[in-house]
Amino acid sequence: MDVDAARLIATSLAIGIGVIGPGIGIGLIGSKAMEALGRNPEAEASIRTTMILAAAFAESIAIFALVVALIIKFVV
């Protein structure tokens, strides 16, 4: 296996594994937010704010995985 093939495999694994967690996390965040809205519709504003903030934090992990994958592909 040459260096270019190993670099492409490492890039694929970095982004592939790196977005599994945030994808599941954002799905759970949305699920629990809908469940909370069903139980307490009056708290919609605070639930929505907390949900968007939590989704942004989860998405930042996926962006970090993308940056690592790009570094592996183009720098290393």
pTM score > 0.85 for this model?
A: no
Could you report the per-residue pLDDT of 45-58, keeping only the tens digit for each? Answer: 999 999 999 999 99
In whole angstroms, what is the distance from residue 19 CA to residue 37 CA?
27
In whole angstroms, what is the distance from residue 23 CA to residue 1 CA?
31
Regions in the chain scoring below 70 on pLDDT: none
So where are the chain's domains? 30-76
- Greatest Cα pair distance, the chain, in angstroms, is 60
- CATH architecture, domain 30-76: Up-down Bundle (1.20)
